Homo-oligomer: A and B are copies of this chain.
Amino acid sequence: MKNQEFKPIKAIKIEKGIKTSELVDKMGDIGFNARYISQSSKILEEAILDKECRLFLGFAGAMVPGGMKQIVIDIIDNNYVDVFVTTGANLTHDLIEAIGFKHYQGTTNISDEELNEKGIDRIYNVFMKNEVYVKLEKFFEENFDELSKAKSPREFLYLLGKIIPTKERSILKACYEKNIPIFCPALTDSGIGLMVWGQLIRKKKIDLDFFDDLAKMIDIAWGVKKSAILYIGGGVPKNYIQQALQFSKAASYGVQITTDRAEPGGSSGAPLKEGISWGKMSTNAKFSDVFCDATIALPLIYSSLLDSVGKIEKKEL
């Protein structure tokens, strides 16, 4: 083993008041998963600074209730993200906060039966009042005429971002302001979807073309010179980006944060390198898989990016 081949592990030494970005740097000198936190920061830094590269963010899980909303907004405000693909759930929870509701720090020590009686919905250790749906319905009733002008899910979400209140900042508004397209292939599988359904049964009309979104998504993937992927969780957001890459060109940079396992064969737990076989990831891509709850990994990685890159110029699609 030549010394130039393998760098020695340098045990992390922490000084008082250590900055998060310094800690992430030091993680790059050790082993196991901490190292991938650092490596992911470096890869994303390079991708963001690469003017030819556009970043596709796949954002699954219950990250808004989990407290990651502001970081995603900041990522958008800093112009790191060029295409945003997410679940209806994350957008619904974003909207719920935008219209004045909150999520709460819950506990695993209360039974779900008791929560049910109290009208509280559980998302592991986060709680939400079930009454949000009443006000959510009202919001859609009042705004449906405007929203129903949309011809595709992404237009619908653009309009939603436009009319959403501004008191509490939201991902929907941030994407609207930055003109970042939001793709939500399973929009009908969400509270927002249900609210639309609630209008349709009141004889309102809407006609969203989900295939128009797919066409747009592949167009974008074809149009970019180079692409980077950042998957927070797996699910539909990951797969939707992956398939666009497969049918256009392979990604040059990739970071994935998930706790799912690879062995059962699902897309969510598949390591990024599997994408190489499919042509979704370039054979000379730089990529890193982080096995960690995103509520821990994402703040670390973002802190590092903020200190090293800061805000960049918006890239055009």
Contacts and interface: CB of A to CB of B under 8 A. Distances in A.
Given A14-B74, A20-B22, 18 more contacts: A6-B105, A8-B102, A10-B67, A11-B68, A18-B19, A30-B105, A31-B126, A31-B295, A32-B66, A32-B67, A32-B263, A34-B295, A89-B267, A188-B210, A197-B211, A208-B211, A264-B293, A264-B294
Interface in A262-289: 262-268, 270, 273-279, 283
A317 interface: no
Interface string A33-44: 111010000000
Nearest to A5: B104
Interface residues of A, number: 126
Interface of A: 1, 6-23, 26-27, 29-35, 37, 60-62, 64-71, 74, 89, 102-106, 112-113, 115-116, 118-127, 129-130, 185-191, 193-194, 196-197, 200-201, 206-211, 213-215, 218, 233, 235-236, 239-240, 243, 247, 259-268, 270, 273-279, 283, 291-297, 299-300, 302-303, 306-307, 310
List the number of copies, as a whole number. Answer: 4
Task: Indicate the member of A9, A10, A21, A193 with the most B CB atoms within 10 Å.
Answer: A9
Contact of A29 (B67, B121, B273, B294): B67
29 contacts: A9-B126, A11-B71, A15-B306, A19-B19, A23-B300, A30-B105, A31-B105, A32-B62, A34-B299, A60-B266, A61-B266, A62-B266, A112-B277, A113-B283, A116-B279, A124-B274, A125-B265, A185-B186, A186-B240, A190-B239, A193-B211, A193-B243, A197-B211, A200-B215, A259-B263, A259-B264, A291-B293, A292-B292, A296-B300
